[in-house]
Amino acid sequence: MIDQDDRIVREVQAGQTEAFAALVNRHKDKVYAILLRLVRDPDAAEELAQETFVRAWRGIGGFRGQALFGTWLVQIAIHLARDRMRERRRGRTVSLDELLEKNADDSVFADPRPGRDPLSEISDRDMMKRLETALGDLPPSYRDVFVLHHIEEVPYEEIASMTGDSVGSLKVRAHRARKLLRDAISPGAEYVAPEDRVD
């Protein structure tokens, strides 16, 4: 996939502009999934994904391959998501009730396993709502690294190249994000997951 991205980028830079559609098709699902988890609004995520590819199209002439093309795209998406979150904070205050209502039926953390016990499903849904709300309340820099590393499984080194932050500071933010999320979901919990260790 990496070599093919490089080849397609070179084709686009050489004037074969129609080849850019192949890059969009290869990366659109991942970009959208990351944006959806960051902004927690399907319409906004779709809009930001389109803007991500518009900006990539405009800037592809200056892309020199110092990072992977996919990494560069995610970096653009993260910046757009951060800008959108800043606009939201300036624009209006969203109540907890609105957040819960908005995410009641379309959880991004939904459990697709069939045959669950109804009481267990209710408890799990409640936990997922609290997790989604807590994730939305995290500082953006904590939320970004949590979503990228723990949900999208992007290695810390790759996140560092996207954000310009050190791997150590990303691990600290991820550790703090996990603690804040754990406290928000079950205050006073003593459990410490193995991945909570800061190496």
pTM above the 0.95 mark? no
pLDDT average, residue stretch 76-95 = 72
CA–CA gap between residue 68 and residue 76 (Å, rounded)? 13
Q: How far apart are CA 48 and CA 174, in angstroms?
A: 24
Alpha-carbon distances of 28 from 53, 81, 118, rounded to whole Å: 9, 15, 35
Q: Under a CB-based contact definition with an 8 Å cutoff, are residues 134 and 68 in contact?
A: no
Cα distances from 51 to residues 32, 65, 113, 162, in angstroms, run: 11, 21, 34, 17
Helical segments of 67-117, H only: 69-91, 96-102
- Closest listed residue to residue 163, CA positions, set 87, 50, 71: 71
Residue 67: CB atoms within 10 A of its CB come to 15
- What is the fold of 1-93? Rna Polymerase Sigma Factor; Chain: A (1.10.1740)
pLDDT at 130 exceeding the cut of 80: no
Sketch the domain layout of the chain as residue ranges.
1-93
* Per-residue pLDDT reduced to its tens digit, 11-54: 999 999 999 999 999 999 999 999 988 888 899 999 999 999 99
Identity of the highest mean pLDDT range in 82-86, 108-112, 154-158, 165-169: 165-169
